[in-house]
Amino acid sequence: MGSKIKWRKQKEIRTDVIATAKATGYTLYFWNALMVGDHLTVISIIDDPEYCHIVNGIYDTSNIEEWKNHRLNYKALRLWSLTYEQELTTPLHIAAGRGFTECLKHLLQRGADVELSPGGTTALHEACESGQGECARLLLSYGANANAVSEDGLMPLHVCTSPESLDCAKHLLQFGATVNGRTLDEDDTPLHVAARHGLPEHVDLYLRYGAALERQNDEGNTPLNTACSHPQPAEELGRYHHVCRLLLAAGASVHAGDQDNQTPLHMACKNVNPDVVDLLLQHGASVNTMCYSGDAPMHNILKMVGYKAAHQPERVVKALLNYGSIRVWPGALPKVLKYCCTSPRSIEVLMNAYDRLKITDAWVEAVPPEIFQKHREFYESLFSLAQTPRSLQHLARCKIRAHLGAHTHRVVPKLGLPTFLKNYLLLEFRDYVH
């Protein structure tokens, strides 16, 4: 009895909806229902034989000023338009991109065309770009092409650029997506895309499906180069470290250079990711390879110290020196001091790589007064060396390090010395120089 009453009420609602739609203009009414995910209204309209064709309607939204804010300008909405600036979409695109699964399901059941791409992308692209996994699965199960190419030359896997799109990527691969498909403009594979956006779970997924590790894009970057070269905010450093760890564990080369012969280590130093630098060095990265502009990894990190002090650049400088990196020409140290003075620890570890320093007035002038006051104790200890030789302890450290060279990082931990002395030999920070 209860089910009959419910059915009767739904029928009354649908009758009212159709009447209202006919009175106000079904296109706008249908559009409004789509935009808010009102699947009951959508069903009521598309089930009317007179309006069933609307499931494949193409809309021009280029003159809806507040489209991005999910608001409507009803007077501006129209069906097919030949205006110069067109932003064309379909009901399927709207439902898929917004994650309205029920609306999408009903549109598909009523014959919506999964291959329509009036705006240059399919509804599957929209679902993947928005990270709508269930919508992607539905589209694929209704025959959407997992390798459809947009007008920008992107397959659906190429637009899986957020952590939320992992389920989309899984569904695409299960439905036959090409794991090594290339983008038109940059020749990127999905693995390049996942590496660029710091998506370790995507990287792991693609590797399990046989993604090519050493495939180079138009800039000569492998996925590892791509992960190391992409700008990385401090809060995302861990994600990129995880990505690099997966790629290296799978056998990615640490020596591959891009078109400018910049290796992953060059790029990790430029982005100041200490954990990635450590990882690359542990896998045999060369600390003294120079790119075509003549820069070694040490040059790259020193150029970035002043901009990324929050990334702990001192750790990168220390690691490079412990693996045998070239040092800065002593005559250039005042210039280095000028640009790196906001990171006293970077200055400390660099200065501790020399057995003697010729400190002049130019050194003092290189540090702005406000920086000097903020780190007064450290800079006073540094500038006091203008009249004082380095300590015997420091000179002994320099002698041992010079003897060990590039093996310092490996040999020192094995020496039967107290932990304090081991750390001292490996340039551990003390926040002063002596």
DSSP reduced 3-state for 281: helix
Kindly state whether residue 110 falls inside one of the protein's structural domains. no
Q: Which residue has the tokens 């564990």?
A: 249
- Here the CATH number for the domain that contains residue 348 is 1.25.40
- Asked whether 364 and 386 are in contact (CB, 8 A), the reply is no
Kindly state whether residue 201 falls inside one of the protein's structural domains. no
- What pLDDT, on the 0 to 100 scale, is given for residue 295? 95
| Cα 146 to Cα 77: distance, rounded to the nearest angstrom | 31
Kindly state whether residue 349 falls inside one of the protein's structural domains. yes
| Cα 227 to Cα 232: distance, rounded to the nearest angstrom | 9
* Helix H or strand E encompassing 109: helix 101-109
| Cα 163 to Cα 394: distance, rounded to the nearest angstrom | 48
The distance of Cα 404 from the centroid of its chain, to the nearest Å, equals 38
- Asked whether 412 and 426 are in contact (CB, 8 A), the reply is yes
pTM, rounded to two decimals: 0.85
- Residue ranges in the chain modelled with pLDDT below 50: 1-24, 64-84
Kindly state whether residue 361 falls inside one of the protein's structural domains. yes
Kindly state whether residue 107 falls inside one of the protein's structural domains. no
Kindly state whether residue 384 falls inside one of the protein's structural domains. yes
Residue 302 structural domain: 263-434
Kindly state whether residue 277 falls inside one of the protein's structural domains. yes
Kindly state whether residue 306 falls inside one of the protein's structural domains. yes
Q: Give the chain's domain count.
A: 1
Environment class of 102 (CB within 10 Å of its CB; exposed 0-12, middle 13-18, buried 19+):
middle
